[in-house]
Amino acid sequence: MNLSSIETQVVSLCEEVGNFIRVESERFDRSSVELKGNFTNLVSYVDKESERRLVQRLTEIIPHSGCLGEEGANIIGSSGYQWIIDPLDGTTNFVHGFPMFSISIGLLHENTLKLGVVYDVMHRECFHASEGGKAYCNRAVIGVSGEASFQQSLFATGFPYASSPNAEKHLDIIRHFLKSSHGIRRLGSAALDLAYVACGRLEGFFEHGLNAWDVAGGAFVLQQAGGVVTDFSGKNNFLFSQELCAASNLVHAEMLEAIRERWRN
């Protein structure tokens, strides 16, 4: 399997689907928004059509591959490869015209990530990597921040909804980070949070309640860029545990310690 060639094809596909999303963003009508469950979980025809296009092409790039997508794609393949897709990570941002949303694609082979692509739709930045290669933003090699001081680091997270059973724990962690670092940002797209750690714009990112399609692409790019990604226990189950702590290798341990101390209480 030539992962480098597949990486190139997936980057091209993301640029193509990203162009569709950009065009639709200019004429999008909020009245077409649908709800998945409660009022905070939005979906649009743009999410659904983007996923349809991605699934069609990705299963051609690797015949007989499986797909797991946020908008319902659940294909069981026979090749041992599975695509994990978020066709529009940051739908709420998209709906409100806030220009921070992305396409996220990860490739699993026998439960191991092999490839990741995150495409920042509005800024036309593509973060990508495949096993055995370097991490890139468009054509430039990227790497994690060299900042070793937690106090001088900038972090990102997602804010929990008040109804979340873990909201108070998460807010306690946020309070600690706000008091002990250069601050916290909330981009609204976990895939972009991870990509920004990968290229050194942020030192770390943590969140609870994420799904595999939110993190697969960005987590792999970050790992290839020299970063560390774990769950809140420091283990490797970040895809399916809904817990993720991702950072440069210089601040990950201190970041994880601060999270674990407050998450256990």
Looking at the structure, tell me whether residues 111 and 169 fall in a common domain.
Answer: no
Domain total for the chain? Answer: 2
Domain-located, residue 246:
yes
Looking at the structure, tell me whether residues 136 and 159 fall in a common domain.
Answer: no
- Tell me phi and psi for residue 50, to 5 degrees: -60, -45
Domain-located, residue 93:
yes
Domain-located, residue 147:
no
Looking at the structure, tell me whether residues 19 and 71 fall in a common domain.
Answer: yes
Of 76, 111, 141, the residue that ends a domain is: 141
Least confident of 3-12, 39-48, 207-216, 251-260: 39-48
Domain-located, residue 220:
yes
Looking at the structure, tell me whether residues 45 and 136 fall in a common domain.
Answer: yes
Q: Does 45 have pLDDT greater than 90?
A: no
Nearest Cα to Cα of residue 123 among 42, 28, 15, 24? 15
Q: Does 1 have pLDDT greater than 90?
A: no
Q: Does 33 have pLDDT greater than 70?
A: no
Domain CATH code at residue 241: 3.40.190.80
Looking at the structure, tell me whether residues 194 and 248 fall in a common domain.
Answer: yes
Looking at the structure, tell me whether residues 36 and 137 fall in a common domain.
Answer: yes
Domain-located, residue 148:
no
pLDDT, position 7: 97
Domain-located, residue 48:
yes
Nearest Cα to Cα of residue 67 among 76, 57, 80? 76
Q: Does 42 have pLDDT greater than 80?
A: no
pLDDT, position 30: 64
Domain-located, residue 210:
yes
Looking at the structure, tell me whether residues 98 and 9 fall in a common domain.
Answer: yes
Of residues 169 and 128, the one with the higher pLDDT is: 128
Domain CATH code at residue 103: 3.30.540.10
Looking at the structure, tell me whether residues 73 and 163 fall in a common domain.
Answer: no
Nearest Cα to Cα of residue 17 among 77, 66, 75, 85? 85
pLDDT in tens, 56-65: 999 999 999 9
State the pLDDT confidence band at 265, using cuts at 50, 70 and 90. Answer: low
pLDDT, position 264: 73
Q: Does 159 have pLDDT greater than 80?
A: no
Q: Does 5 have pLDDT greater than 90?
A: yes
Query: Average pLDDT, stretch 77-92?
Result: 92
State the pLDDT confidence band at 251, using cuts at 50, 70 and 90. Answer: very high
pLDDT in tens, 206-219: 998 899 999 999 99
Of 141, 173, 203, the residue that ends a domain is: 141
Q: How far apart are CA 107 and CA 66, in angstroms?
A: 10
pLDDT, position 143: 98
Encoding tokens for residue 136? 């890139």
User: Is 41 strand, coil or helix?
Assistant: coil
Q: Does 46 have pLDDT greater than 70?
A: yes
Of 141, 172, 207, the residue that ends a domain is: 141
Looking at the structure, tell me whether residues 7 and 137 fall in a common domain.
Answer: yes
Q: How far apart are CA 39 and CA 19, in angstroms?
A: 28
How does the average pLDDT of the chain come out, rounded?
A: 91
Q: Does 15 have pLDDT greater than 90?
A: yes
Domain region containing 89: 3-141
Looking at the structure, tell me whether residues 134 and 175 fall in a common domain.
Answer: no
State the pLDDT confidence band at 246, using cuts at 50, 70 and 90. Answer: very high
Looking at the structure, tell me whether residues 167 and 124 fall in a common domain.
Answer: no
Looking at the structure, tell me whether residues 189 and 106 fall in a common domain.
Answer: no
